[in-house]
């Protein structure tokens, strides 16, 4: 472990969390609509039959995935969402209805009905992040849940972050276990890396 890298990442997380909390509600809602429209118009999303998505924590100003999930279910897509385990692992289950969610220990919504999904079947993965750089390096929350998961996702499956403009920067510190994103979607469009 590189302690200097770790300390720098903690500082960056604090900075981007604070910056995200400072986004005004009206602007956040407007940007979420634009992000959803860009995602919906993207051919990769249109053709995806099985979509993996995090369930957003809107109180932390994450890009709202609940509407994306709801619209995807209405379009007949199969939705896979994660369940967090205590050992920094994620399990993956199908979700048929947003009413089948409850808060876990950390306050994150997870499915009540557990129908296990095979991550090798995923067509697209929407990934939570605080920031991303031009090489696809993702700054997450630091708990490591997604690091292990993304390492198991087939390299052919697009891994896309959802974020607001201003959270995409030139360069982030990278650790050996970091899996690069294939791009991100912001209010300005789909950005493949």
Residue ranges and CATH numbers for the domains of the chain are 3-192 (3.40.50.10420)
- Per-residue pLDDT of the chain (193 residues), as tens digits, is 455 667 889 999 999 999 999 999 999 999 999 999 999 999 999 999 999 999 998 888 999 999 999 999 999 999 999 988 877 789 999 999 999 898 887 778 888 887 899 999 999 999 999 999 999 999 998 777 899 999 999 999 999 999 999 999 999 999 888 999 999 999 999 999 9
Q: How many CB atoms lie within 10 A of CB 51?
A: 23
- List the structure tokens of 192: 């493949």
Kindly give the pairing relationship between strand 50-53 and strand 124-127: parallel
H/E element, 186: strand 183-186
Q: What is the CA radius of gyration of the chain?
A: 16
CA distance 87 to 68: 28
Output the CA angle 158-118-72, nearest 5 degrees: 60
């Amino acid at each position: 472990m590189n302690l200097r890298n770790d300390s720098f990442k903690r500082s960056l997380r604090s900075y981007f969390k604070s910056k995200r909390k400072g986004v005004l509600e009206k602007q956040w809602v407007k940007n979420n609509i634009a992000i959803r429209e860009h995602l919906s118009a993207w051919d990769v999303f249109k053709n995806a039959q099985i979509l993996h998505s995090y369930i957003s924590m809107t109180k932390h100003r994450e890009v709202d995935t609940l509407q994306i999930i709801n619209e995807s279910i209405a379009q007949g897509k199969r939705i896979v969402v994660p369940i967090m385990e205590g050992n920094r692992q994620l399990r993956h289950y199908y979700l048929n209805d947003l009413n089948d969610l409850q808060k876990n220990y950390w306050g994150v919504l997870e499915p009540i009905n557990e129908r296990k999904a095979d991550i090798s079947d995923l067509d697209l993965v929407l990934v939570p992040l605080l920031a991303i750089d031009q090489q696809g390096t993702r700054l997450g929350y630091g708990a490591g849940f997604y690091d292990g998961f993304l390492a198991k996702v087939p390299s052919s499956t697009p891994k896309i972050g959802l974020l607001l403009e201003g959270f995409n920067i030139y360069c982030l510190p990278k650790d050996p276990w970091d899996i690069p994103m294939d791009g991100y979607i912001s209010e300005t469009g789909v950005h493949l890396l």
